[in-house]
Each structure stands twice: as C-alpha cells, then as structure tokens.
Structure 1
Amino acid sequence: MQSVATALTRLGDLAASPTVSRLANAFSAAGHELSLVGGPVRDAFLDRPIHDLDFTTDATPDEILKVVKPISDAHWDIGRAFGTIGALVAGETVEITTYRADSYDGQTRKPEVVFGLSLEDDLLRRDFTVNALALRLPELALVDPANGIADLLAGILRTPISPERSFGDDPLRMMRAARFTAQLGFSLDADTRVAMEAMADRILNISAERVCDELSKLLKSDSPRVGIELLVDTGLFGRVLPEIPALRLEIDEHHHHKDVYQHTLTVLDQAIGYEKSRASFNGPDLIVRLAALMHDTGKPATRKLEPGGVVSFYHHDLVGAKLAKKRLRALRFDNDTISAVARLIELHLRFFGYTEGAWTDSAVRRYVRDAGDQLERLHILTRADVTTRNRRKADRLGFAYDDLEQRIKELAEQEEMAAVRPDLDGQQIMAILGVSPGREVGEAYRFLLEQRLDDGPLGEEEATRRLTAWWAARAR
C-alpha cells in the first residue's frame, strides 16, 4: 500500500504521459470535464500495475467523438448506447464514458441508460468505494465522495451506497465482491456480507454469460481461494455452481474420509503453484483452475458407505466429467474449454494405477494418447491432487510421477509420441486390402494403432504383415 503522497506522485506521472495529457488538454480546450476513474486510481494507491485507462466526462458520446477524433489513431463506438467511446491515443487504448445515473427496475439487470450531471453522482453509482475514486484532469484533484481512500488504507471492501440498493441495481456486484477480496486481499464489510447472504437469489437474474465472465476473472486471480470460500459461505455458489458447496460432505462417527471441499481448495492452490512453476504456461490458465475446482464433483453422487468404516467413491471421475460438462455448458463456457476440463477430470485418477505396479511402454503410450493436447495440464492436476499430510506417501507419489514424466519424455524422444499414428495410413490400408473407404478401413486403422501403442514403431513392412494376417483371420 502506497502512502497518499506517493500515490498522488504516481498519478501525477501518469497524468503527464502522452496519452493522458493529450486527452486532458483536448477535453479542457473543448470546455468539458475529464477524470481518470476507478481501477487506475485505486491501483496507484495499492502499488499495482496500471493497465486499463478509464475516463469519465460530462461530454455526451457525440461530443466525446468530436474531441477524440483529431487526436486518436483509431476510435470506435461499440459502447455508444451506454455512453462509452473507445479510442487509441498515443499508442494506448482508452475508454471514455459519459457520467451515468442509470435507473433499474429492481428485478433484472436491464438499466435504463440515463446520463448524469456530476462526477460525484457518477462515482456513487459504482460498485465499491475503492473503485469510486477519480482524478480530475488536468488539475490533478482527487475526488473521493465515498471515503474510498480510508477503505483502501484499512483494506475494507464496501459499497458506496447501501449494499441492498447496490446489489439490487446489479446483483453481479456480489460476485465482484468475491473477486476483489481475492485480487486485493481485502476484507468484506460486515453489512455488505449480510446483504450478499440475504440477496443471493438475485444472482439468478444475471445472464449466464456475465456470471461466466466474472467467475473466470476470479479463478484467474493470484489467490482465488478466499473468493471461492466467500461465494460458498454466502450462498452465491449454491445458485451458480452448486457442485462446489455440495462437496461439504457430512462425516458420521462410523465412516470417515477426507474433507472433500477443503481438499478441493488445496488442490486448486497447489495447481496454481505448479502452473506458475512451468515455463510452458504464460499467465493464469483457466482450464487448469476449472479442472482443479471441479475434479471431485462426482464424489457426492458416488459416495458409498462400506463395512468397516470405509467410504468409496467409485467412478467419481466419470460422473464428475459429465457433471462438469453440464454445468460449464449452462454457464456458457466455450466448447473447447468444456471439453478440456471434462477430459482432465475423466483422466485425473489414471496415474494412481502407476504406483501399484510398473506400467509397460504400451500403458505409457496410452496415457499420452488419451491425454492428447491436455497432457501438460494433466501433469499439473495429477500432482496437485496429492494433498496427503503423510510425507512418506506424498514423496512416494511425487517420485512416481517424476518417473512417469521421465518415461514419457524418453519415449517421446524415441518415437515422436506426441503424434502417435499407425505405420500405415488410410490410403495404404485400402491399397493393401483392396477395399474402398468404409467401416473396414476404420477397423483396420484402429487395429494398427493398437499394434503401434503396444509395440512402438513397426515399420511399413512389419505393419503390412500384421495387417494382412489380421485381415485373413477376420475373413475366416
């Protein structure tokens, strides 16, 4: 956390940058107000990188366009209906929005867009006090009508107006509260938390697409766990992602098992750690984090109390994969993400058979084939799934996976295993067998693929010999 004086110095340096100064001078010359607003001002106090430059003004969208056209390299008005104009100024992308004073019907997130008259009123309609900050330009006057600076210094997240009214205006702000607690490490104001609990059902008024976007932002934060816990404890996840609170399975005095919910949060933490340690990952990986969060969601449906106090979860990997597909589809995640997450959940237990006996090269090849382009993510999820406090067991599993990865690497170097294919292609199969395209070609291809996985590269001559023998035996 920066001191106020240091933050103001940083904001002054930002205001002197070519992009900000060019905009400030142009709006001032045109007789309009202009302020840097929200995240950039907040992050100056938190000593965080400043990425997005957001501005607000008393100018209407038409007037904004008139000002920015002469000084921008490009401009766009895709958000014009909501008062927002985008532009590229001095090489940086900016968004400039007319003061807003929206009104709502109290039931759905469909505001009637109404332009406001003052900067202070615009700030008070924002989500949280720490985002209701502005720097007037070019005079460099800090505007803080909701005491956001005090909340920044105290590490508290609260709404500028009553939380009931704020969340009634836009229920998605309840999920944003969880994201900001994770991103900023702030504590949620008690009244704000109470309102979240009381109004959790309102999240059902929000489109799945907006919920998906907010959930993704939370999961891609450095430490999403605290935000997830807040969403579970306040009941929001019970409406948005009910498979997660369902992991809090009751344990009776006769049957004991690991706390699946806490295990899941630990797996997520560890997956993020492994993800950051691997050079092949550049930034947060949403697929890894979704898979870690949902990898055990099949356990509640498959829990069985066995004699002797044992609890089993047979086939929870397959059940969990199906549940993940259904839930992520309902939340409007894209098909590639859904398929990847489901595949990782389906495969996340496969490795544990490796520790029970040495895998053949054929089994290793199948592991790689089944993982496909998700192999690196599967490495992360499988390692993260080891949460035992038994150090000897954890070391044994870790060493076993080290060994598996080394074998994969060696086989890949020998065989270019990442692109495992039969030694003969479809055209060659048809020529050797004298058949036309059809079911038989597919069966022959799969036969040769199994031979390839079992025994490694065969060469064209040996593959032809095995194919003709298989075809002759099949004809009998």
Structure 2
Amino acid sequence: MARMTPEKILQTIAKVAVKEKTAVYAVGGFVRDRVMERPCKDIDMVVDGSGVAFAKKIIEPLKAEHEVFFEDFDTARMQVEEYTIEFAGARKESYEKHSRKPKVERVENIAEDLARRDFTINAIAMHIDKEHFGEYLDPFDGQSDIERKIIRTPMEPSATFSDDPLRMMRAVRFAAQLGFGIDGVTLRGIKEEVERISIVSWERIRDELLKMLAVTKPSEALNTLFTTGLLAYIVPEVAVLHGVEFVGGQHHKDQLAHSIKVTDQMAAMTENVSLRLAAFLHDVGKAPTKRLKEGRGWTFDGHEVVGARMITEVGRRLRLDTDTVKYIRKLVRWHLRPQVITAEGVTDSAVRRIIVNMGDWLDDLILLYRADITTQNPKKLAQREKDFDVLMRRIEEVRERDRLRAFQSPVRGEEIMQLCNLTPGKEVGKIKGAIEEAILEGVIPNDYEAAKRYLLEHKVEWLT
C-alpha cells in the first residue's frame, strides 16, 4: 500500500470539503515550511465552520488514528501515518489581563483568523481545492518576510502579544531556529510588553525555553531573552549574572556571557537538552556568593553548593520533573570537581570517588567540565585542555581496571552479618562502608575474594 504524503492528505481533505460545502485551508508552520522548502510532519488546517465537526467527517477517508477532540477550543488532532494533523475552526484567542486561560472566539473567515496569528511568516494560508491547489493567501506579506528572514507581527505588536504573551518568547525562538532576525518594531514591542509574560503558565514558558536550548546555537535565543527583559522574568537567577564589576582595579568576567558561551559549547557536543540546561544554570550560585577579598580579588567560594540548592527552586518554577531537577542539581553541585582533581593531581583514589559519586552521570559531568573551558588565554586554554585529556585517560583506565560504574561492596550485608554474627543495624553499614573505602583508596582491589579477606582480617578491630 502506497504511503501517504502531504499532497495526498490535502487532496483527500479537499474532496471531503467539497462534499461538505466547507472552505478548508492549510495554515501555520506547515505552509511556512512549504514556502521555505523544509519538510514538516505537522499539518494545521483551518475550517470556515466547526473544526471538530469537519474533523469527525475526515477520519474514515484519511484512515486516521488516535483522534482527540477539544470541544471547548473547537480543535481536533489525529494521526495519519507519521503526520499529525490538526483541525480548528477559524478563530482568535486572547488572554484577559490577569488570566492564564485563553478566551477563544469564532471569527467569520480565514482573513480574520490569519490576522490574529503570531507572525506574518505563520499567517499564510494555502488553498487545497483542486482548482487553486498550492496557491497562497498572504494578506500580511509573510512570503516576503520569509525571503528577508524577518520575524514580524501581522498586527501592532502590542495587540499580537496581548492576545498571547507567550508569542514574545516564540518570536525569540523562531528567530534562533530559522536563523532570522526580529523586526525592530516587533522587538521594541516585546520590551514594552515584557511584563505580560507573567500571566503565561510556567509549563508553556518551560516548553519554549527548552525549544530554544534545542537549537543549534542557543546563544542566539538566550542573548535576546536577556536584552528584551524576558530572562529576568523566566530565570532571574541567571539574568543577575550579567555585568562586570570594577573595584580598586579588580574586576571579574561577565558571568552571564560565560554561562551562555558554556551553553553554546555544550550544544556543539550533545543534543541532550537537559544537559544544555544544566550548562546554562551551572554558575547560578555565583551572584549570591560573590565577594571581593583582599589578596584574592573577586571570589565565588561555594557557588557550586549554593547553586545546587537554588536549582530546586528554579526547577519547581519551571515545572521540571523530579528526575530532571535531581540530575541538574547534581551536575551543578559537582561541576567544579573535575577541575579540582586535575589541580590536585589525578590520583586513582580521586578518580574512583568521582566515578562512584556520579555513577551514570559521570560522562555528562565531564562534558560540562569541557564546555566550561572558555578562557581566551592561549596558555591557560592549552593547559585546561591538557588537564581534560589526562583526566579522561585516567577515568577510562580506572574504570577498566576496577569496574566501578555500579560500585558497592562485593561482600553483601547478609554475608557480613553471618561472618560477624550481627543482626541488621548500623554496624553492618559501617563495615560495608569500611570495605568500600578501602577499595576507593586502592588498599584492596574491587573483587569479592579480596574484600572478604579484608573483612576477616579487620572484623575484630571494627567490632571493638
């Protein structure tokens, strides 16, 4: 059976539209990407009439699956092979001044629907009827803006952003995703309306932020978030890192610029968005720990500990799941540890401890350590890169030799109780800890016979 294509899907929809005497158009990102000759698996349709009612009539002709109806918003979504299709009645959405729920109103025709869309590049409709198939309805010159690579609102920015304040973040994200610039009037509108972002749900804000971090070069979005004032509302803990303070000839680097550069360098190494977010947040504790100390200059002592605590609040605000918060918090807490190890000398004991402490997240911590190298001093850069290579080599050597990824005492608690005539309690954990410490320090190898021998040799000492 021949697979579906966007053209086949649209032609099938068009046949049903003729039968139902209903005008239906392709709109939004699908049309934008078609103009830009980019593939798109999400197909948005607007119906001059009820989106839900029309969608119910198209399920069988399209052989659609997983259909979902949102009656309150007059929208429906369904799956046709790898394509997600959404139908909506021609409408406009707007938010009351202090409400986080949109007010949906039906409009008379497609022209009104397009006028209430976010940007001109997304306010292009495509005819799907047989006679005019592929022709565009472009009342706001979106095709020209695509050619000029400009993000611009179809109406006055204040009206567009008032309808949905999240569009301010979407402007930033689209610019970064598509390599476009933001029109000057639109950019000024974001700065003027920035406080409106406070009525948007944190789940929607989080999703936009993560999409920005997923682009090839996140700095394109993150810098604009800061200059427009949006970052101060979303992650104020990072926004306050901006600036260089001079006192008595002493100054420190701009920690916001550093954090953004680390995020870009991380993006070049991994597509893991949670790890990119950890890179963006890794120095979040520097603002509250900044001190000017005589003989040392500017210091940020303990910023990794303070920052790890702050991640809990940032994660709660952004509605991150518990596992992601735990992951980022641990990376922030220990992000300096690889640097400390290389500075103190890469001993087997130190390497074993970081392997055990980080577990499956060690490779991500090492990536963060590498991304955190932003010095412009050629001599310092060469030394940091050399330190990185030495640490990586030693980690692999110790891993291979000690098999420490899932480290725990080779002698289990039940056997300790039997050999030492103990019942469950603190003494068992204490003995296990002593065996593990001996392995970490290299006193004994990480194998069962050596650990059991060590237990028998020291049990009297430990129990008295």
Give the alignment's TM-score, normalised by structure 2: 0.92
Q: Given that residues 341 and 350 in structure 2 are in contact (C-alpha distance below 8 angstroms), is that contact kept between their aligned partners in structure 1?
A: no
1:90 Cα deviation from its structure 2 partner: 4.9
**Runs (5+) with no aligned partner, structure 1:** 1-12, 276-283
Query: For 1:223, what is the secondary structure of its paired residue?
Result: coil
Q: What is the CA–CA distance in structure 1 between the aligned matches of 2:89 and 2:78, rounded to whole Å? A: 14
3-state SS, counterpart of residue 154 of structure 2:
coil
Which runs of structure 2 are paired with 1:285-434 in the superposition (5 Å)? 285-308=272-295, 310-434=297-421
**Counterpart in the other structure of 2:193:** 199
Instruction: Find the aligned partners of 1:191 and 1:47 in 2 and give their Cα distance.
Output: 28
Native 8 Å contact 1:33 1:137 kept in 2:
no
CA RMSD of aligned residues (A): 2.0
User: Within 2, Cα distance between the matches of 1:47 and 1:73?
Assistant: 26
| Residue 42 of structure 1, CA deviation | 1.2
**Alpha-carbon distance in structure 2 between the residues aligned to 1:15 and 1:289:** 34
Distance (Å, rounded) in 1 between the aligned partners of 2:194 and 2:102: 20
- CA 1:91/1:154 → structure 2, altered by over 3 Å: closer, same or farther? closer
The reply to whether residue 179 of structure 1 matches residue 169 of structure 2 is: no
| 1:159-174 pair list within 5 angstroms | 159-174=153-168
CA distance in 1, matches of 2:49, 2:416: 71
1:245-256 matched pairs, under 5 angstroms:
245-253=239-247, 254-256=249-251
Moved beyond 6 Å, runs of 4+: none
- Which residue of 2 is the match for residue 133 of structure 1? 124
Q: 2:70 aligns with which of 76, 79, 89?
A: 79
Q: Which residue of 1 aligns with 2:447?
A: 459
Cα 1:109–1:356 shift into 2, 3 Å: closer
Deviation at 1:70, TM superposition (A): 4.0
Aligned partner (choices 24, 30, 33) of residue 23 of structure 2: 33
Give % identity: 35
1: CA distance, partners of 2:463 / 2:426: 15
Contact 2:266 2:371 in 1 (8 A): yes
Cα deviation for residue 106 of structure 1 reads: 3.2
Q: CA deviation at 1:467?
A: 2.5
Unaligned stretches of 5+ residues in structure 2? none
CA distance in 1, matches of 2:94, 2:449: 76
CA distance in 2, matches of 1:209, 1:236: 16
Q: Which residue pairs with 1:435 in the alignment?
A: 422
Contact kept, 8 Å, 2:226 with 2:239, in 1: the verdict is yes
Q: How many residues in Structure 1 have an aligned counterpart in Structure 2?
A: 455
Is contact 2:251–2:298 with CA below 8 Å preserved after alignment?
yes
2:9 corresponds in structure 1 to: 19
Instruction: Evaluate the alpha carbon distance shift between residue 302 and residue 118 of structure 1 in structure 2; reply closer, same or farther with a 3 A threshold.
Output: same
* 1:69 counterpart = 2:60: yes
When residues 118 and 382 of structure 1 are mapped into structure 2, their CA distance, relative to the original with a 3 A threshold, is: same
Q: Relative to structure 2, which stretch is displaced further, 445-454 or 384-393?
A: 445-454
Letter aligned with residue 42 of structure 1 = R
CA–CA distance in 1 between the matches of 2:53 and 2:35? 33
Deviation of 1:63 (Å) = 3.0
Contact 1:86–1:96 (CA<8 Å) still a contact in 2? yes
Equivalents in 1 of 2:359, 2:6: separation in Å?
49
Aligned with 1:105 (options 96, 100, 104): 96
Higher strand share: 2
CA contact (8 A) 2:293 2:299 kept: yes
Name the SS for the 2:136 alignment partner.
strand
Q: Structure 2: how far apart are the matches of 1:83 and 1:348?
A: 48
The residue type paired with residue 124 of structure 2 is: L
Amino acid at match of 2:315: L
Contact preservation (8 Å) 1:19, 1:92 = no
**Which residue of structure 2 aligns with residue 474 of structure 1?**
462
Select between 300-309 and 386-395 the one with higher mean Cα deviation: 300-309
Say whether the 8 Å CA contact 1:255–1:311 is kept in structure 2. Answer: yes
**Deviation string, structure 1 residues 104-123 (Cα, Å, up to 9, x no partner):** 42332322322222111111
CA displacement at 1:15 relative to structure 2? 5.0
Q: 2:267: which partner in 1? A: 272
* Residues 1:80 and 1:449: Cα distance change in structure 2 (over 3 Å): farther
> Which is worse superposed, 321-330 or 45-54?
45-54
